[in-house]
Amino acid sequence: MRLLLIVGLACAMAAPVAMARAIPNPNQKHAPGNESPQTPIARAGYSTPTNYQLQCAGCHLGDGTGSKANDTPKMKDFVGNFLKVEGGREFLVRVPGMSQSALNNDQLADLLNWLMRKDGMAGKSVPDDYKPYTGEEVAKIRGVTLLNLPDTRAGLIKEMRSQGITIDDGMDNAY
């Protein structure tokens, strides 16, 4: 018992020393080639396809097929259907991956418009009367938090079904 107490005290006394070594040295220099601070994505000037890779492809995959196993819906040839139901246009901006992305409002509008191209991700699902997003529109919509993603999405899917839209998003939509 006495040995356990001594070992415990020794560990407690050693802990501050170990923690002190974890504190970064304020005089430490950047690694060679990395001398300037990283430019935020919102100011980096990346292309829209690059912004997709950085902000969306981690979940929706590079080709937009999504992942049922990770509860990430397919966008390829489907995402444009949201624009066919009331509230769907706003939903696409308010989805957390969009609204909370590091992109500024103009970049997010460009990304949404890039996704909605007939020769792109949304493909045949884009309505013929598609009106491109603007940075101003995105700013207004983005400021309203989406409080219940699953129920909001379920309501939009239900409305799509009532319009005869085939639900092909790679998910189990029992609603």
Residue 3 lies in a domain: no
CB 144 within 8 Å of CB 94: yes
Residue 15 lies in a domain: no
Say which residue the tokens 């196993």 belong to.
69
Q: What is the pLDDT along the chain (175 residues), one digit of tens a residue?
A: 777 767 766 766 665 554 545 666 778 777 777 777 778 888 888 899 998 998 888 888 889 888 888 888 889 999 999 999 999 999 999 998 899 999 999 999 999 999 999 998 999 999 999 999 999 999 999 989 889 999 999 999 999 999 999 888 787 765 5
Backbone angles phi, psi at 67, to 5 degrees: -155, 105
DSSP summary character for residue 34: -
Residue 10 lies in a domain: no
Which of 91, 93, 83 has the alpha carbon at shortest distance from 125? 83
Give the separation between CA 132 and CA 97, rounded to whole angstroms: 19
CB 82 within 8 Å of CB 118: no
Residue 142 lies in a domain: yes
Residue 98 lies in a domain: yes
pLDDT of residue 43: 85
Give the separation between CA 159 and CA 14, rounded to whole angstroms: 63
Domain membership of residue 64 as a residue range = 47-168
| Structural domains counted in the chain | 1
Residue 5 lies in a domain: no
Which DSSP string corresponds to 105-128?
A: HHHHHHHHHHHT-TTSSSGGGS-T
Residue 108 lies in a domain: yes
Give the separation between CA 101 and CA 70, rounded to whole angstroms: 19
* Share above pLDDT 70 across residues of the chain, in percent, rounded to a whole number: 86
Encode pLDDT of 33-43 as tens digits.
Answer: 777 777 888 88
Write down the pTM of the prediction.
0.76
Which helix (H) or strand (E) is 150 found in, with range?
helix 149-162
Residue 91 lies in a domain: yes
Residue 63's CATH number: 1.10.760.10
